Amino acid sequence: MDSSHAVRALSALSQETRLAVFRLLVRAGSEGLAAGRIAEALGVALPTLSFHLKELAQAGLVTSRAQSRFVIYTADYDQMSALLGFLTENCCRGIAAADPATDACCEPVGACEGTPS
């Protein structure tokens, strides 16, 4: 992921309703949710939700597919992973931890001996 794509994704997620929509879709998994279910779950009017879904889709964070008479929205997990990777690529000075779930990253840059603060 390049910087401009990361900025678009972060910008889309920087709005409270869009962040809530994205988090809801992440929890929904690969089955996704219809717009009406999203609106109902979040208490958002459909026209407002449509605007936010469009913004998330343009940022590459959400995909949609037709299913019968509904449009189903799904979080794009590949793009989410790419964004997380972009944000953490310099963690530990670019050296990946053996097990990121259990290994702490490194101390902040400048905390190591001989490194300017």
Per-residue pLDDT at 89: 85
User: Which domains does the chain carry?
Assistant: 1-117 (1.10.10.10)
Per-residue pLDDT at 67: 93
For 17-56, how does the pLDDT look when each residue is reduced to its tens digit (9 = 90+)? Answer: 999 999 999 999 999 999 999 999 999 999 999 999 999 9
**How far is it, in rounded angstroms, from Cα 106 to Cα 14?**
27
74-89 core/surface letters (b: 16 or more CB in 10 A; e: else): bbbeebbebbeebeee
Per-residue pLDDT at 88: 87
**How far is it, in rounded angstroms, from Cα 8 to Cα 58?**
8
Rounded to a whole number, what is the distance in angstroms from the first to the last CA of the chain?
29
> Would the pLDDT of 93 be above 70?
no
Output the average pLDDT for the chain: 86
What is the value of pTM for the model shown?
A: 0.78
